[in-house]
């Protein structure tokens, strides 16, 4: 089974800081590399995704960086806000990482 490894497991950031979450994968045949955001009691929601022919994608405060040679992609949250506190999952091709619990302190 394809492996998707996500790190860190948890992350605490001060308001206004940068949150960085990483995902490493094995399969090279994924069509896209998404990140999902999940609040307690809710289903995962697609946050941002990137295709393998692009190295970076930015949507507002959220940026994906994609390193094809290293088989890694990361989520950067700029100017992190308390409302960003949630669990984040990378999820290429139906497989999800273990999740990162982000806490943004006011």
Partner 1 sequence: EPEVTQTPSHQVTQMGQEVILRCVPISNHLYFYWYRQILGQKVEFLVSFYNNEISEKSEIFDDQFSVERPDGSNFTLKIRSTKLEDSAMYFCAREDKGAEGYTFGSGTRLTVV
Residues that bind partner 1 (CB under 8 A): 1, 31-32, 34, 36, 38, 42-46, 49-51, 89, 91, 94-99
83: which DSSP letter?
G
Q: How far is the CB of 35 from partner 1 (least distance, A)?
A: 8
The number of residues in the chain equals 106
Smaller CB separation from partner 1, 19 or 92: 92
Which of 17/93 has CB closer to partner 1? 93
C-beta of 45: minimal distance to partner 1 in Å? 7
Q: Which residues contact 15 (CB under 8 A, 6 or more apart)?
A: 80, 81, 82, 104, 105, 106
CA pair distance 12, 105, nearest whole angstrom: 7
* Residues sharing a CB contact under 8 Å with residue 79, sequence separation 6 or more, in sequence order: 16, 18, 61
Comparing CB distances to partner 1, the nearer of 8 and 16 is 8
Task: Please identify, using beta-carbon distances, which residue of 7 and 38 lies nearer to partner 1.
Answer: 38
Cβ at position 16, least distance to partner 1 in Å: 28
CB of 36 to partner 1, least distance (A): 7
What CA–CA distance (Å, rounded) separates 91 from 96? 4
């Amino acid at each position: 089974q394809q492996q998707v490894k996500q790190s860190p497991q948890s992350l605490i950031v001060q308001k206004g800081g940068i949150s960085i979450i990483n995902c490493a994968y094995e399969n090279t045949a994924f069509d896209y590399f998404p990140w999902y955001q999940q609040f307690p009691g809710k289903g995962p929601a697609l946050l941002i995704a990137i295709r393998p022919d692009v190295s970076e994608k930015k949507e507002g405060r959220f940026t994906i960086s994609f390193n094809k040679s290293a088989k890694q992609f990361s989520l950067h949250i700029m100017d992190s806000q308390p409302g960003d506190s949630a669990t984040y999952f990378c999820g290429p091709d139906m497989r999800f990482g273990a999740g990162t619990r982000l806490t943004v302190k006011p």
